[in-house]
């Protein structure tokens, strides 16, 4: 799976061609579904002021100007991403932050592309099935990165996998893929016991040798504890789970008033980039699920083989 | 297991004798460990005013006076509860909200009573093992009722079982008992896959035929959905998970300022009792884990047998 939410259509095409050179096996692209968002001039001005204080503290330059995302433009880009997926005959396409229009779904299905939706509650999973999607990822409260809720609010969406998997399985007929805190064969086996037919693992691969994540980010996960993993909307305007750091601490009093995703994401972009280039983990977004103590710096093949071996032995 | 946190020593003795008449098998008592608490006169006055509005709305009488719990008195009662457990030779004693003094632990162990602690994070589980406790219950974020955190704060304590079980198992040598959202054989099997050696189930038994819970409370769980289960401190002053209702909704703006457990619990007691006697679920505490859709009105023996059968078949 390629997380392509922030990629241009050209980047998706390049990634797709690179993968096809490497393997004849199926692969998938994950996209962010555009949603209407709010961001008053006042909230943007206020967030910009809060961020400027942080920029000064870490000697990061204020950008000359910031392009504020426009919903219409996001929809145009999304449609271009879909077009590339069809042109490139990418076998699988998954969605986060909701579902595309019925027209887009119909078009992708016409081209025999397997579709996957992301749900955080039973109602969302039922909606995904009703829209004709082929599989559903259920994102437990344990999951790192952005919450995928699109019908429920963030608090309602924080259901642990022990509860979420069997309740969804009892209410849909499409295969369920479990996501959130799954790091090794134990989590995979548990997910299967609960009724899932597959799993989606993020943080577990992030610290692998082959991962291109910033080494500072990898080290932060490898030394984090489960009670340091928090939810914040300060980085992007949408709630996401990651390692608590100074940025989250400083922004806590203000974050409720920040503009929505993806405006806040655009406002913090150059700050995050500056922190990353300084290797300063206190001001980077360090997305992680709730199982950082299970993270290892190992080859991805070792992780996969250990899971397959455990499944065979069971 | 008998939840005896609110029982007098006399009630514990009576329960113990009743159980011994019914079975020669081992059983256990769960106690609340007293913790220092805050409750300024101002917070008590303010909470009393908010609650009075609710009392008027449901035509509940204001009590003539409310005994505000005193820490010293709670410690005396706790020590009396311990004394009865020793006198009654109760085989197992478990603790929530932390651990008793080393002296109490030593005394219980001298009498060969098996001790169980409750942890919400790895650090808490390690502390429990270090204090010489025999087993640890790990309470996932899915769990209904009060949070058992005693070193971490509430937000830090909200770790899903998919993450919590394997991380605790990797850091302690004592057996781990999983709790939170486990309702049937699927949850039991998943917990064992994650490394637990047993499970603790609450909500699953609450709706069983034999359960003495108020029928209105049972029905509320049987018709609830997972996204209606929320955390609130409005009922007791300590965060607990239950079904969202009008009481929680009305109190949300004020709950952060309410006095600590068990003061707030004492302030709401007569209101909860009045609502229960009216069968008005909107103003009762409806504790539930995050899996209400898996709850059934069935005999407890059927629940147990279905789990044992699944374990044998596996």
- pLDDT at position A203 over 90: yes
Query: How far is it, in rounded angstroms, from Cα B260 to Cα B234?
Result: 10
In chain B, which residues have their Cβ closer than 8 Å to the Cβ of A221?
A: none
- pLDDT at position B63 over 90: no
Tokens at B201, concatenated: 């189930």
Query: How far is it, in rounded angstroms, from Cα A16 to Cα A182?
Result: 27
ipTM computed for the complex: 0.97
Tens digit of pLDDT for each residue in B125-143?
A: 999 999 999 999 999 999 9
In chain A, which residues have their Cβ closer than 8 Å to the Cβ of B290?
A: 159-160, 162-164
Tokens at B188, concatenated: 């039991």
Average pLDDT of chain B is 97
Tens digit of pLDDT for each residue in B155-189?
A: 999 999 999 999 999 999 999 999 999 999 999 99
Nearest to B278 by CA among B56, B59, B68, B24: B59
Query: How far is it, in rounded angstroms, from Cα A286 to Cα A279?
Result: 12
- Report the pLDDT value the prediction gives residue A211, as an integer from 0 to 100: 97
Instruction: Please answer yes or no on whether A166 and B159 come within 8 Å at the CB atom.
Output: no
Exposure b/e, B144-159, CB count within 10 A at least 16 = b: bbbbbbbebeeebbbb
Is A255 within 8 Å of A54 (Cβ atoms)?
no
Work out the minimum CA distance from B192 to partner chain A, whole angstroms.
Answer: 8
Select from B142, B187, B227 the Cβ nearest to the Cβ of A156. B227
Query: How far is it, in rounded angstroms, from Cα A64 to Cα A62?
Result: 6
Is B297 within 8 Å of B207 (Cβ atoms)?
yes
- Nearest-CA residue of chain B relative to A122? B226
Tokens at A278, concatenated: 């300084």
Query: Tell me, what DSSP letter sits at residue A88?
Result: T
- Helix, strand, coil percentages, rounded to 5, for chain B: 45, 15, 40
Query: How far is it, in rounded angstroms, from Cα B265 to Cα B104?
Result: 26
Is B197 within 8 Å of B175 (Cβ atoms)?
yes
- Report the pLDDT value the prediction gives residue A78, as an integer from 0 to 100: 98
Tens digit of pLDDT for each residue in B192-226?
A: 999 999 999 999 999 999 999 999 999 999 999 99
DSSP B193-251: HTT-SEEE-SHHHHTSTT--S-HHHHHHHHT--GGGEEEE-TTTSS-EEEE--HHHHHH
Beta strand residue intervals within A28-153, DSSP E: 28-32, 92-96, 114-119, 135-139, 145-146
The stretches of B58-120 forming alpha helices (DSSP H) are 71-87, 102-110
3-class state of residue A47 by DSSP = helix
The pLDDT-based confidence of B62 (bands split at 50, 70, 90) is confident
Domains defined along chain B, listed by start: 2-313 (3.20.20.70)
Selected residue of A161, A187, A190, A239 to mutate for chain B interface (largest B Cβ count, 10 A): A190
Query: How far is it, in rounded angstroms, from Cα B286 to Cα B51?
Result: 17
- Report the pLDDT value the prediction gives residue B45, as an integer from 0 to 100: 94
């Amino acid at each position: 799976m390629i997380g392509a939410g922030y990629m241009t259509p050209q980047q998706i095409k390049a990634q797709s061609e690179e993968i096809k050179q490497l393997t004849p096996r199926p692969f998938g692209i994950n996209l962010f579904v555009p949603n209407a968002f709010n961001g008053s001039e006042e909230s943007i001005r206020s967030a910009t002021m809060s961020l400027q204080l942080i920029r000064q503290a870490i000697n990061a330059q204020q950008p000359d100007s910031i392009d504020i995302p426009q919903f219409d433009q996001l929809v145009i880009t999304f449609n271009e991403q879909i077009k590339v997926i069809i042109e490139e005959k990418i076998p699988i396409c998954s969605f986060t932050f909701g579902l595309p229009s019925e027209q887009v779904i119909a078009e992708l299905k016409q081209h025999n592309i397997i579709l996957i939706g992301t749900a955080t509650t039973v109602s969302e999973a039922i909606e995904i099935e009703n829209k004709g999607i082929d599989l559903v990822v259920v994102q437990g409260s344990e999951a790192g990165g952005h919450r995928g809720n699109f019908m429920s609010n963030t608090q309602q969406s924080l259901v642990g996998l022990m509860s979420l998997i069997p309740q969804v399985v009892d209410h849909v007929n499409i295969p369920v893929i479990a996501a959130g805190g799954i790091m090794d064969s134990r989590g995979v086996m548990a997910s299967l016991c609960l009724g899932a037919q597959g799993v989606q693992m993020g943080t577990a691969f992030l610290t692998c040798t082959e991962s291109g994540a910033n080494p500072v980010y990898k080290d932060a996960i490898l030394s984090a504890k489960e009670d340091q993993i928090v939810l914040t909307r300060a980085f992007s305007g949408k709630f996401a789970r990651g390692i608590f750091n100074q940025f989250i601490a400083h922004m806590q009093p203000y974050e409720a008033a920040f503009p929505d995703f993806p405006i806040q994401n655009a406002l913090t972009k150059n700050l995050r980039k500056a922190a990353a280039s300084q290797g300063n983990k206190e001001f980077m977004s360090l997305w992680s699920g709730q199982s950082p103590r299970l993270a290892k710096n190992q080859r991805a093949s070792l992780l996969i083989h250990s899971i397959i071996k455990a499944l065979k032995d069971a």
